[in-house]
């Protein structure tokens, strides 16, 4: 639900409560005030009548006496400390021939030593006559408020939330690799200013970390490759000197270990680069062509192992993927399919717009297939491989939002990549994604 709508709904709820209470207050206030005014009027009338009695004239036909009752009372009936009181209740109105709400005000006077009780009354609107009017007017107020709050809420929130929306747009297009610090628009709203400051700090830190990570990767690559290079060169020179057979075996073993070291290192460097998103996706490339090229490159290896290659490659399948990544992906998959195959086995490559499926014959893996995506996990612990190829494949798939599944059934290894991915997350989320291989 939109923030604006939420606010509007809450406001409306509060308004409803306030109006209900307000309606009750208004209703009782009017009720009381009307009664009060009448009481004061009748007290004045009673005073006038008392004045008339005091003057001693005959006022029996006078308009003041129309609804007045003057009674002589004994002294002991005069209430102490009260000069006047009033009562309310329903009474018969002979003028209109209906029962109406009647207010009776009674005052006590002492005139020339005699005690008088003077009562006058009138008919006033009752509770029930007032209620519909109050309800009606509050209904109108409510409706008016609803419309106004609804419209103004939308307009005002658009104005107030504008800096927030601008910030959102800026962070969505933020890209660590561009190394440009976040530039957020100024705002006078303190919450948004706080948010902007926080975002700025966060992205600056991320940029810094990214930079140092990148530097570390580069330095590590440089510093480790040089000694490896030196050792390798020395061994090559040693190889050409006059050596015995047993020494030759030692050298060969050293070379193998060195080769592994260098391979592990370059694969890890590559994985780091992938995790750093150093391969920005460019224009879509023809994946069909690349797949064919990759298969061609491995043609002789396939023949050497006498493998039966079946391909079903749909033409003109374009994917927005960096060429280097597509190359890595295909090379790793195809070479895996060849290496872990059996002699006279088969490889089947299916490419359609939905995805790529590579299946091959081979020995059953000794660990669950899902785990083979982890670094340094090998289906066959004795094999020569370093077990990083599939980790690279998975990393590329994660990067491209492809879905990858590895299954082994009835003697076949099946690796299926689905190109149809959920909507890509924002750039920021991609950049901040936690490492996808927590098992390393």
Partner 1 sequence: MKVLIIEDHQELARNIHDFLAREGYICELSTTLEEAREKLSLFQYDCILLDIGLPDGNGMNLLAGLRAERQQANVLIISARNGVDDKVIGLEKGADDYLTKPFHLAELHARIRAIYRRKNLGGANIVEFNEISLNTDTFEVRVGNSALDTTRKEFDLLLYFIVNKNRVLSRQSIAAHLWGDYTDNLANFDFVYQHVKNLRRKISNAGGMDYISTVYGLGYKFNSHKHEPE
d(CA 262, CA 314): 37
d(CA 408, CA 307): 19
Contact indicator for 401, 325 with CB cutoff of 8 Å: no
Q: Which stretch binds partner 1 (CB under 8 A): 65-73, 94-102, 168-176, 263-271?
A: 263-271
51-to-64, 103, 292, 430 alpha-carbon distances in Å: 12, 22, 122, 95
Selected from 180, 230, 429, 433, the binder of partner 1 by CB under 8 A is 230
Selected from 172, 229, 310, 353, the binder of partner 1 by CB under 8 A is 229
191-to-129, 186, 282, 299, 364 alpha-carbon distances in Å: 51, 12, 38, 63, 59
What 3-state class would DSSP assign to 111?
A: strand
Give the residue with the Cβ less far from partner 1, 108 or 298.
298
249 binds partner 1 (CB under 8 A): yes
Selected from 4, 157, 262, 276, the binder of partner 1 by CB under 8 A is 262
Selected from 84, 93, 221, 403, the binder of partner 1 by CB under 8 A is 221
269 binds partner 1 (CB under 8 A): yes
Q: Which residues pair with 92 in a beta bridge?
A: 99
Per-residue burial over 194-217, b if 16 or more Cβ lie within 10 Å, else e, is ebbeebeeebeebbeebeeebeeb
232 binds partner 1 (CB under 8 A): yes
Give the residue with the Cβ less far from partner 1, 76 or 300.
300
Query: Tokens 């014959």 correspond to what residue?
Result: 361
Selected from 64, 93, 255, 403, the binder of partner 1 by CB under 8 A is 255
Give the residue with the Cβ less far from partner 1, 306 or 310.
306
Give the residue with the Cβ less far from partner 1, 291 or 336.
336
Phi and psi at 120, nearest 5°, equal: -125, 155
Q: Which stretch binds partner 1 (CB under 8 A): 56-64, 77-85, 246-254, 349-357?
A: 246-254
d(CA 371, CA 310): 27
CB of 254 to partner 1, least distance (A): 10
Selected from 104, 170, 251, 416, the binder of partner 1 by CB under 8 A is 251
Of 182, 206, 336, 220, residue with least CA distance to 277: 206
d(CA 275, CA 208): 16
Query: Tokens 């948010």 correspond to what residue?
Result: 195
**Under rule CB under 8 A, how many of the chain's residues touch partner 1?**
44
CB of 431 to partner 1, least distance (A): 20
Give the residue with the Cβ less far from partner 1, 8 or 332.
332
Q: Which stretch binds partner 1 (CB under 8 A): 30-38, 146-154, 205-213, 245-253?
A: 245-253
Residues 96-155, interacting with partner 1 (CB under 8 A):
none
Give the residue with the Cβ less far from partner 1, 251 or 286.
251
CB of 211 to partner 1, least distance (A): 15
276 binds partner 1 (CB under 8 A): no
Q: With DSSP H G I counted as helix, E B as strand and the rest as coil, what are the percentages for the chain, rounded to 5? A: 55, 20, 25
4 binds partner 1 (CB under 8 A): no
175 binds partner 1 (CB under 8 A): no
Contact indicator for 417, 355 with CB cutoff of 8 Å: yes
Give the residue with the Cβ less far from partner 1, 18 or 324.
324
234 binds partner 1 (CB under 8 A): yes
In sequence order, which residues have a C-beta less than 8 Å from that of residue 422 and are 6 or more positions away?
A: 401
Residues 279-318, interacting with partner 1 (CB under 8 A):
300-301, 304
Give the residue with the Cβ less far from partner 1, 188 or 244.
244
Give the residue with the Cβ less far from partner 1, 161 or 220.
220
Q: Give the pair of three-digit tokens for residue 17.
A: 């409560």
What 3-state class would DSSP assign to 120?
A: strand
418 binds partner 1 (CB under 8 A): no
d(CA 203, CA 175): 10
405 binds partner 1 (CB under 8 A): no
Contact indicator for 98, 60 with CB cutoff of 8 Å: no
Selected from 110, 152, 226, 426, the binder of partner 1 by CB under 8 A is 226
CB of 381 to partner 1, least distance (A): 15
CB of 149 to partner 1, least distance (A): 57
Contact indicator for 340, 347 with CB cutoff of 8 Å: no
Contact indicator for 403, 422 with CB cutoff of 8 Å: no
For partner 1, the binding residues (CB under 8 A) are 218, 221-223, 225-226, 228-230, 232-234, 236-237, 239-240, 245, 248-249, 251-252, 255-256, 259, 262-263, 266-267, 269, 300-301, 304, 324, 331-332, 335-336, 338-339, 384-386, 388-389
């Amino acid at each position: 639900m939109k923030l604006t709508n939420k606010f509007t709904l809450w406001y409306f709820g509060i308004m409803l409560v306030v109006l209900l209470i307000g309606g009750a207050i208004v209703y009782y206030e009017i009720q009381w005030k009307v009664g009060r005014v009448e009481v004061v009027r009748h007290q004045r009338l009673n005073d006038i009548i008392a004045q008339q009695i005091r003057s001693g004239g005959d006022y029996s036909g006078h308009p003041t006496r129309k609804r007045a009752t003057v009674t002589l009372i004994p002294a002991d009936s005069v209430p102490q400390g009260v000069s006047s009181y009033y009562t309310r209740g329903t009474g018969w109105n002979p003028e209109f021939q209906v029962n109406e709400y009647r207010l009776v005000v009674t005052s006590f006077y002492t005139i020339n030593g005699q005690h008088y009780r003077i009562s006058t009354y009138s008919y006033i609107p009752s509770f029930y006559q007032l209620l519909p009017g109050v309800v009606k007017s509050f209904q109108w107020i409510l409706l008016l408020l609803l419309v106004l709050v609804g419209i103004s809420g939308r307009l005002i929130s658009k104005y107030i939330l504008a800096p927030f929306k601008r910030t959102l747009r800026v962070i969505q297009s933020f890209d660590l690799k561009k190394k440009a610090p976040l530039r957020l628009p100024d705002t006078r709203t303190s919450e948004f200013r706080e948010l902007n400051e926080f975002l700025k700090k966060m992205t600056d830190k991320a940029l810094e970390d990214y930079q140092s990570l990148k530097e570390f990767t580069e330095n590590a690559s440089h510093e480790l490759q040089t000694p490896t290079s030196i050792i390798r060169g020395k061994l090559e020179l040693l190889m050409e000197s006059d050596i015995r057979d047993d020494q030759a075996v030692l050298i060969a073993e050293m070379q193998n270990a060195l080769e592994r070291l260098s391979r592990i290192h370059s694969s890890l460097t590559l994985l780091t680069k992938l995790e750093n998103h150093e391969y920005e996706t460019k224009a879509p490339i023809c994946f069909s062509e690349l797949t064919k090229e990759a298969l061609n490159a491995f043609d002789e290896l396939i023949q050497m192992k006498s493998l039966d290659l079946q391909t079903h490659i749909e033409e003109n399948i374009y994917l927005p993927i960096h060429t280097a990544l597509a190359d890595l992906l295909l090379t790793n998959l195809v070479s895996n399919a060849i290496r872990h195959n059996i002699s006279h086995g088969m490889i089947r490559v299916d490419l359609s717009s939905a995805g790529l499926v590579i299946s091959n014959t081979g020995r059953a893996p000794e660990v669950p297939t899902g785990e083979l995506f982890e670094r340094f996990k090998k289906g066959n612990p004795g094999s020569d491989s370093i077990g990083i190829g599939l980790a690279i494949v998975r990393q590329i798939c994660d990067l491209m939002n492809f879905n990858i599944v590895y299954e082994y059934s009835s003697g076949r290894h099946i690796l299926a990549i689905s190109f149809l991915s959920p909507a890509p997350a924002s750039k920021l989320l991609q950049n901040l994604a936690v490492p996808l291989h927590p098992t390393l």
